[in-house]
Every structure is written in structure tokens, then in C-alpha cells.
């Protein structure tokens, strides 16, 4: 991890830290959903906005989608966006 990474157990990321990042979700039926994470419910289901669904060569715009936890096989976040989030969190903690 880089020097801006979280370094102690007190610096653990919480679900709120994952909100508003762009994600790519691989669904168990083979589809890929790309969009911005808006919410995580108490059962770890995801609410994702601006969703583009890719199924083979076909892509379509879905908008706002609720994704049940049980249908998610993989989750990816863009490295640049993730690192920006970590840097912001570390900077915020150092100012407190």
C-alpha cells in the first residue's frame, strides 16, 4: 500500500466510505453492472445509480438498480477513485 494508506485498526473503512464510488459488479448470471454505489442496506444489498448493464456484446442503460447480495459474484472499484477516497480519508483524519 502507498504512504496514504490506512495504517491502524482504528482506520478501518466503514460502509459509508464506499458510497459514491464507481463500481463494476459481476452478477452470477454473467451480466456486468457498472454504476455509482448509492446505498447499502442492512442485508448488504446494493443500490446503484446510473447503471449500464453489459451482457455479452449488448449494453443497455438501466438507471437506478437494487442488486441483491446473493446475486453478486465479484465487485471491482476503479483504482484511481479508490486511492482518492483513501487519500481524502487520511487527510480528513489528520485534520481532526
Q: Report which of 13, 52, 57, 59 is spatially closest to residue 36, judged by C-alpha positions.
A: 52
Q: Report which of 42, 39, 1 is spatially closest to residue 19, judged by C-alpha positions.
A: 39
Q: pLDDT (tens digit, 9 = 90+) per residue, 16-48? A: 888 999 999 999 999 999 999 999 999 999 999
Q: Which domains does the chain have, with CATH numbers?
A: 14-79 (2.30.30.100)
Q: How confident is the model at residue 11 (pLDDT cuts 50, 70, 90)?
A: low
Q: pLDDT (tens digit, 9 = 90+) per residue, 58-86? A: 999 999 999 999 999 999 998 888 888 87
Average pLDDT over residues 43-56: 96
What's the CA dihedral at 37, 70, 57, 21 to 10 degrees? Answer: 10
Res 90 pLDDT > 90 = no
Amino acid at each position: 500500500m502507498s504512504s496514504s494508506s490506512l495504517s491502524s485498526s482504528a482506520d478501518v473503512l466503514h460502509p459509508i466510505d464506499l458510497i459514491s464510488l464507481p463500481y463494476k459488479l459481476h452478477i452470477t448470471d454473467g451480466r456486468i453492472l457498472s454504476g455509482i454505489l448509492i446505498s447499502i442496506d442492512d442485508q448488504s444489498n446494493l443500490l446503484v445509480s446510473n447503471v449500464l448493464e453489459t451482457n455479452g456484446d449488448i449494453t443497455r442503460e438501466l438507471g437506478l438498480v437494487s442488486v441483491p447480495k446473493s446475486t453478486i459474484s465479484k465487485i471491482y472499484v476503479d483504482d484511481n477513485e479508490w486511492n482518492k477516497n483513501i487519500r481524502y480519508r487520511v487527510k480528513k483524519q489528520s485534520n481532526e
